[in-house]
């Protein structure tokens, strides 16, 4: 779980308008930070299965939000993925819009 200061910094960085606290972009950014922290924790606590289950739930939630954002606003989706350095497989939706499958985005795997 993130502390309030960290969460506020993330919201400030990824918000789409002044009053924004819950847009898909902000939720994805917060989930990404939580996933990164849980991954570090699990590297040193390999038998912490409760945290592992939480990590899987967060990854699944982020994947659903990314899928929604890709469908809803492709430009915002691409910018967010580049900012957060998330590796995403380009779906058939993106291919139909002219994106090529060779344009995989680097670093972190979603599954």
Per CATH, is 4-73 categorized as 1.20.140.10?
no
Query: pLDDT tens across 24-57, in order?
Result: 999 999 999 999 999 999 999 999 999 999 999 9
Give pLDDT, residue 26: 96
Give pLDDT, residue 111: 41
pTM: predicted TM-score of the whole model, two decimal places: 0.79
DSSP letter string, the chain = ---HHHHHHHHHHH-SSTT-SSSHHHHHHHHHHHHHHHHHHHHH-TT-HHHHHHHHHHHHHHHHHHHHHHHH-HHHHHHHHHHHTB-----HHHHHTT--TT----SB---
Instruction: Round the average pLDDT of the chain to a whole number and report it.
Output: 86
83 pLDDT exceeds 50?
Answer: yes
Residue extents of the structural domains in the chain: 4-73
């Amino acid at each position: 779980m993130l502390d309030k200061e960290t969460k506020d910094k993330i919201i400030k960085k990824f918000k789409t308008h002044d009053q924004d606290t819950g847009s898909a972009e902000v939720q994805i950014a917060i989930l990404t930070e939580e996933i990164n922290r849980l991954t570090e924790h699990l590297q040193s606590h390999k038998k912490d299965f409760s945290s592992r289950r939480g990590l899987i739930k967060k990854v699944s939630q982020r994947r659903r939000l990314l899928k929604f954002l890709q469908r809803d606003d492709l430009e915002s989706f691409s910018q967010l993925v580049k900012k957060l350095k998330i590796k995403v497989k380009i779906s058939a939706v993106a291919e139909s819009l002219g994106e090529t499958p060779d344009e995989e985005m680097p670093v972190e795997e979603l599954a």
